[in-house]
Structure 1
Amino acid sequence: MKSFIKVRYILLGKFLKDSISEDRTYFALTLIVGFISAMVVIALHHGVLYLREVFKTSGSFTWESFLYGGVAIFVSGWLTTRKLPWTAGSGIPNVRIALAVFHGKISLKDTVGKFFTSLLSLGSGVSLGLEGPAVATCSGLGSFLGNYFSLSKKRVQALVAVGSASGVAAAFHTPISAVVFTLEEVVGDLNAKILGSIIISSVIAVVTSQMLTNTTEIFQEVHYRLVDHRELIFYLVIGLTASVIGPIWMNTVLKFREFNQKYMNNHKLSFIMIAFCCVGLLSQIHPGVIGSGSGTLEGTLLSLILDPKILITLFLLKFISTSICYSSGMSGGLFMPTLFMGATMGSFIGVTCSYFFPEITTMSGAYALVGMGAFFATVIRAPFTSILMVFELTRDYNIMLPLMIANITAYVISAKIENKSIYEKISEQDGIHLPSHEDNEILESLNVEDAMERNVISLNSSLTLIEAYKGVRKESISGYPILKNGRLIGMIAKSDMSAAIGRKEFQKKLEHLCEKKVIKIYPDQSLMVAFHRLKRFQISRLPVVSRLDDKRVVGVITAQDIVKKFGYELNETSKEMEDLLEDTEIT
């Protein structure tokens, strides 16, 4: 362990001598994350296929499938429910929380745990996909490398986004949609300044994945031709259908999760085992319910499944099995199952329309593609990603018009029913409320003094680096105010202290190491101002100073403090509204 720490400090001293060195290190890590992410996704994909063969969970379940697969899901569920709660679900909501609250910090234990719990659960044949876990694992990889080299919080967050994009790109071989998904859903800002590094990592991940697997696409290309302009009406129907069914499926997942949390709170592992058994029983009806269903999905895209009874059966089986599996909290994602449901829904509509209007309809595979994009846009609330992903999968411009008609229709109309993605709804159900544009009013009404930490841990400017580091190395705080005669003269980050130790500046005074240009805030300013200031300057904490003396520190505020206070206030407001409604009803 000591040699590991020694190597780390040597690397810090070598690569983080100044801001230019940090930029070069960040660029190198961007390339490394893209390359390793491709290998992680390939390992996860082939590992799942291998385990399904070993556990005999590739087809309709037999007694051996229930036995071997049951052991695998039990081990995965035990780890998730008892040891590694971060590994539950797809992992994408947790990545978003890590970015918004913890400045991109994801522990290596959770990252490794996510890989192996997903490997076991998906290998058991449950009705979930590997794309979400791939995003979470690759994001954790970026976070680990950024923190290992003590990069700034801004750079660590950027590497988390880089890992996320690399995971999607390697899984689907679609670099453009991977970039847009990361900015649209994970980062939440299409104008993010990290666009360049995300593009580079996505391209590297795709190229690496294609070279190692000797494949260029996950599905065979589907070529589309518009037979008659009246056919566009049928694509409009797909959008309308997706706008209704998408929210119904989301609410089904939430209802199952509510049941799990309310009645199975102390028996979460039992609910996971029940979900596994349900998948095994449903596989007796059709094996397409097993796993992500990518093989069956390709069949719908190639117009190989034309029986409407089979299509509606596949949709309903996937609808039920994915709802139960995801609500149980087992490790697995929603990407491919969501695309599967959209494809079978679209193909069913296409086959039905071709039966009644054969002269103006094309092959059902085109309807499957459009349905895939429309359902994805409704559930994930990422319309640009869905359009670009389908385009990259087909590489056919002719599909763009019907795809855009269906997607825009599905996205706009579904927003009237449910305007949040499944990931946002799940986070809210767990009591986690991240700031959004609609929440600005609450943030503006709350002041910094309502949420700030008043017990401030500060460091004296006369301390040497080694003295200060020995005192704070076991603290979880990432930065400290530097005081001279009780007055604020600067701030120092723990990562900067680590870098200075790597440069062997042990006896240097904190007064000469700290950042003199301090970004401050006053107690009476709103939490919105604090949140914007933290985001704008990419810092982890703000010293709160008195209006009467801006050198006197009265508190410290972090993004985590804001989110905690914000969530509390939101819950209090909801309770007040409920009480008001009850009083009104009584009156």
Structure 2
Amino acid sequence: MVGVLCGIAGVVFYALFHVGFTLLLSGIGGYSPPDLLAGEPFARPPGTFERLHIIWLLPAIGGLLGGLIARYVPEVAMAGTESYIRAFHTIRGSRLITIPAEMLGAVLTICSGGSAGREGPIVLIGSTIGYQTGRLFGKGDRMRRLLMVCGAAGGLSAIFRTPFGAALFASAVLYKKDIEVDAILPAFISSIISYSIFYGVYRAGPVFITPAYTFESPSELVLYSLLGAFVALVAILYATIYHSAIGVFDRLHIPQPIKPALGGLGVGLLAVLVERETGVGLSLLGMGYELVQYALFGTIPLLLLVVLLMGKMLATSLTLGSRGVGGVFAPTLEVGALSGGLFAGLLTLAFPSMDVHTGAFVLIGMAAMLSCATKAPLASIVMVTELTGNYFLLPGLMLASTVSLLMTTRWSIYEDQQVDRLHSPAHMYEMTMDVLERIRVEEAMTREVLTFAPHASIVDVLDAVHTTGHRGYPVVDETRGLVGIITYRDAERVPIEQRGGPVSSAMTTQLITAYPDETLADALRRLVANGISRLPVVSRDDPKRLVGILTERDIVVAHARVSATLRRGK
């Protein structure tokens, strides 16, 4: 059901984008991206575009309108995939109104020239569909999270036409070093269904057309590894600019809708400035897919690649850093493509006799950038092959992605990504219990236990509470056999004038105990079920023989110790 709904949402969203672009950038702004397949040149003569006096203001207007929507639906006031990640880990799924709000906000922002992608919004839309479906059918948190992943995969699969990669991406982008394993197969199903519906309506093939590049020689791997390192450096610069922009706009004490308007104004001015000097500035507006397409065919000169690379990073940071409505995924793909093209251009400049296939470096740069920026290398590799229909450069894709990922372990474009499931609030209970299943009671219990005899005074117990801070004590007879337990609450309930009486008059004799060879998970369940905070630990061979005591604090300390060991091991 989620896959069907996401497929329909993808169809509607795609249609809205077509209408929005026709009315705004194309209609009012008079701009249509150059078409490589139609033989159109990428660059215009500088300063010849007729509506520069109009188009520079469009991104600001779109940002303002998107900001007004975000004021009333805060879920859309960040990159769509970021919202999905945050919603998953907090299990505070987006409201139903998020779906039309995200659609309208993204169309207004991007189709007016904001530098963002529609993939992020459809991820949020799909995950919201999944969450609300789970809520409608009364499903618990675990199932709602799974349906959120299915929805994100379904939405991305439709818009990006990458059914395999979308399922992997939706499962992997939640973590830096992990993957939502349980969601992969359901995500595949949702992704396939959604893609089939979208394809049935639009009959759309791969997003990008590529020349027939192939992997020809192992020596190419040296260059591809260097490309991975180059892309990693660009990714660090990109992430720094992007997160700095977020910090700057978040610190501005102005009404929230004004921030994306200012960001849009910056994008418009940047595009016009670059357009007047180079004739390619308008390619910084909107989704910018033409940047990737022309780069794949090696038709963008080296100097323009530098200008466009810096311009795209700045334009995206202004648009999304100001909390404009859109996604960071597509711009990241374009930054990777431009980085690959730039690296190929530098190689050609340094070694004129070298036969450099620029498009191959562009394609591999896309995968390397996605891998290190999103921390989802497998999904990134698969998605790039699906986007381009080129499966012949896999060795290069894999190597460059690995190198770029290893060099950027501390960097990510998604602030709410968790390291792994162990760190995720969404998995706190199950991961806690999983860790506690590894620890036996005897490893965590306190062996040196202060005990009282049945004939000891209740006053002595109260004195011990104030002296040691412990609030419960086993009671043992002369043979050290366990006969009861006395707590601070038991002693406090005794009238003051009777506190000189024996412990046996106030102790609890219906004992709940633990054995040394049990797991802490079993012990914790027993504590919770009975509403108590300590368990006497007795020998399994002789249930009367006290061997220690286990408290809630002991469990917490043991869990922290083992968790730290597991994290270091990763």
Report what 1:160 is aligned to. 148
Report what 2:137 is aligned to. 149
Q: Deviations over 1:366-413 (max 9, x none)?
A: 110111111111111111111111222334343011111111110001
Q: Which amino acid in the other structure matches residue 272 of structure 1?
A: P
Report what 1:422 is aligned to. 413
Hey, what's the Cα distance between the residues in 1 that align with 2:319 and 2:58? 18
Hey, what's the Cα distance between the residues in 2 that align with 1:185 and 1:54? 36
Report what 2:235 is aligned to. 246
Contact map agreement 1:222 1:394 (CA 8 A) in 2: no
Q: Which amino acid in the other structure matches residue 38 of structure 1?
A: G
Aligned match for 2:386, one of 379, 392, 395: 392
Q: How big is the shift at 1:153?
A: 3.3
The answer to whether residue 531 in structure 2 is matched with residue 546 in structure 1 is yes
Report what 1:207 is aligned to. 196
The answer to whether residue 264 in structure 2 is matched with residue 292 in structure 1 is no
Q: How big is the shift at 1:252?
A: 1.6
Q: How big is the shift at 1:30?
A: 3.4
Q: Which amino acid in the other structure matches residue 78 of structure 2?
A: G
- Identical amino acids, percent of aligned pairs: 24
Q: How big is the shift at 1:182?
A: 1.0
Where do residues 301-450 of structure 1 align in structure 2 (5 Å cutoff)? 301-305=296-300, 307-357=301-351, 359-415=353-409, 418=410, 420-424=411-415, 434-435=424-425
Q: Deviations over 1:64-95 (max 9, x none)?
A: 33455543321211221x31211112222222
The answer to whether residue 81 in structure 2 is matched with residue 92 in structure 1 is yes
1:105–1:228: structure 2 CA closer, same or farther, 3 Å change rule?
closer
Hey, what's the Cα distance between the residues in 1 that align with 2:292 and 2:380? 16
Q: Which moved more, 1:234-243 or 1:329-338?
A: 234-243
Hey, what's the Cα distance between the residues in 1 that align with 2:19 and 2:112? 11
Report what 1:137 is aligned to. 125
Q: How big is the shift at 1:309?
A: 0.6
Report what 2:72 is aligned to. 83
User: Larger radius of gyration, structure 1 or 2?
Assistant: 2
Q: Tell me the secondary structure at the aligned position of residue 422 of structure 1.
A: coil
Q: How big is the shift at 1:49?
A: 2.3
Q: How big is the shift at 1:226?
A: 3.7
Report what 1:220 is aligned to. 209
Contact map agreement 2:106 2:121 (CA 8 A) in 1: yes
Report what 2:246 is aligned to. 257
Hey, what's the Cα distance between the residues in 2 that align with 1:278 and 1:162? 36
Report what 1:194 is aligned to. 183
1:385–1:238: structure 2 CA closer, same or farther, 3 Å change rule?
same
Hey, what's the Cα distance between the residues in 2 that align with 1:328 and 1:236? 35
Q: TM-score, normalised by structure 1?
A: 0.65
Q: How big is the shift at 1:549?
A: 11
Report what 2:501 is aligned to. none
Q: Tell me the secondary structure at the aligned position of residue 186 of structure 1.
A: coil
Q: How big is the shift at 1:143?
A: 1.9
Contact map agreement 2:158 2:195 (CA 8 A) in 1: yes
Q: TM-score, normalised by structure 2?
A: 0.67
Report what 1:502 is aligned to. none
Aligned match for 1:105, one of 70, 76, 93: 93
Q: Deviations over 1:262-300 (max 9, x none)?
A: 2x1334333322211121122221111111210121111
Q: Deviations over 1:96-121 (max 9, x none)?
A: 2222222x632112222112111111
The answer to whether residue 45 in structure 2 is matched with residue 72 in structure 1 is no
Q: Which amino acid in the other structure matches residue 376 of structure 2?
A: A
Q: Deviations over 1:466-515 (max 9, x none)?
A: xxxxxxxxxxxxxxxxxxxxxxxxxxxxxxxxxxxxxxxxxxxxxxxxxx
1:212–1:97: structure 2 CA closer, same or farther, 3 Å change rule?
same
Hey, what's the Cα distance between the residues in 1 that align with 2:287 and 2:7? 25
1:304–1:544: structure 2 CA closer, same or farther, 3 Å change rule?
farther
Q: Tell me the secondary structure at the aligned position of residue 398 of structure 1.
A: coil
Hey, what's the Cα distance between the residues in 1 that align with 2:390 and 2:81? 30
Hey, what's the Cα distance between the residues in 2 that align with 1:191 and 1:276? 36
Q: How big is the shift at 1:336?
A: 1.0
Q: Tell me the secondary structure at the aligned position of residue 194 of structure 1.
A: helix
Contact map agreement 1:247 1:378 (CA 8 A) in 2: no
Contact map agreement 1:33 1:162 (CA 8 A) in 2: no
Q: Deviations over 1:217-265 (max 9, x none)?
A: 1111432134554333221221111122212211222222222222x13
Report what 1:469 is aligned to. none
Hey, what's the Cα distance between the residues in 2 that align with 1:255 and 1:31? 37
Q: Which amino acid in the other structure matches residue 423 of structure 1?
A: Y
1:191–1:97: structure 2 CA closer, same or farther, 3 Å change rule?
closer
1:437–1:255: structure 2 CA closer, same or farther, 3 Å change rule?
farther
Q: Which amino acid in the other structure matches residue 422 of structure 1?
A: I
1:352–1:192: structure 2 CA closer, same or farther, 3 Å change rule?
same
Q: Which amino acid in the other structure matches residue 351 of structure 2?
A: F
Q: Tell me the secondary structure at the aligned position of residue 257 of structure 2.
A: helix
Hey, what's the Cα distance between the residues in 1 that align with 2:417 and 2:144? 25
Contact map agreement 1:221 1:393 (CA 8 A) in 2: no
1:221–1:37: structure 2 CA closer, same or farther, 3 Å change rule?
farther
More helix by share: 1
Q: Deviations over 1:40-73 (max 9, x none)?
A: 4423432442333233273666333345554332
Q: Deviations over 1:395-454 (max 9, x none)?
A: 434301111111111000112xx2x522126899xxxx955999x99x999xxxxxxxxx
Where do residues 483-494 of structure 1 align in structure 2 (5 Å cutoff)? none
Q: Tell me the secondary structure at the aligned position of residue 205 of structure 2.
A: coil
Q: Tell me the secondary structure at the aligned position of residue 414 of structure 2.
A: helix
Hey, what's the Cα distance between the residues in 1 that align with 2:233 and 2:521? 38
Q: Tell me the secondary structure at the aligned position of residue 78 of structure 2.
A: coil
Hey, what's the Cα distance between the residues in 2 that align with 1:43 and 1:355? 43
1:258–1:427: structure 2 CA closer, same or farther, 3 Å change rule?
farther
Report what 2:219 is aligned to. 230
1:381–1:44: structure 2 CA closer, same or farther, 3 Å change rule?
farther
Q: Which amino acid in the other structure matches residue 237 of structure 1?
A: L
1:239–1:396: structure 2 CA closer, same or farther, 3 Å change rule?
same
Hey, what's the Cα distance between the residues in 2 that align with 1:543 and 1:98? 28
Hey, what's the Cα distance between the residues in 2 that align with 1:203 and 1:45? 23
Q: Which amino acid in the other structure matches residue 4 of structure 2?
A: I
Q: Tell me the secondary structure at the aligned position of residue 126 of structure 1.
A: coil
Contact map agreement 2:85 2:417 (CA 8 A) in 1: no
Where do residues 517-536 of structure 1 align in structure 2 (5 Å cutoff)? none
Cα RMSD (Å)? 3.5
The answer to whether residue 15 in structure 2 is matched with residue 43 in structure 1 is yes
Identify unmatched segments of 5+ residues in structure 1: 1-28, 446-521, 523-527, 534-541, 551-565, 567-587
Q: Which amino acid in the other structure matches residue 193 of structure 1?
A: D
Report what 1:58 is aligned to. 31
Hey, what's the Cα distance between the residues in 2 that align with 1:47 and 1:155? 36
Hey, what's the Cα distance between the residues in 2 that align with 1:122 and 1:133? 11
Q: How big is the shift at 1:548?
A: 7.3
Q: How big is the shift at 1:132?
A: 0.2
Contact map agreement 1:289 1:317 (CA 8 A) in 2: yes
Hey, what's the Cα distance between the residues in 2 that align with 1:529 and 1:165? 34
Identify unmatched segments of 5+ residues in structure 2: 33-48, 275-280, 437-513, 515-519, 536-559, 561-570
Q: Which moved more, 1:209-218 or 1:373-382?
A: 209-218
Hey, what's the Cα distance between the residues in 2 that align with 1:275 and 1:410? 30
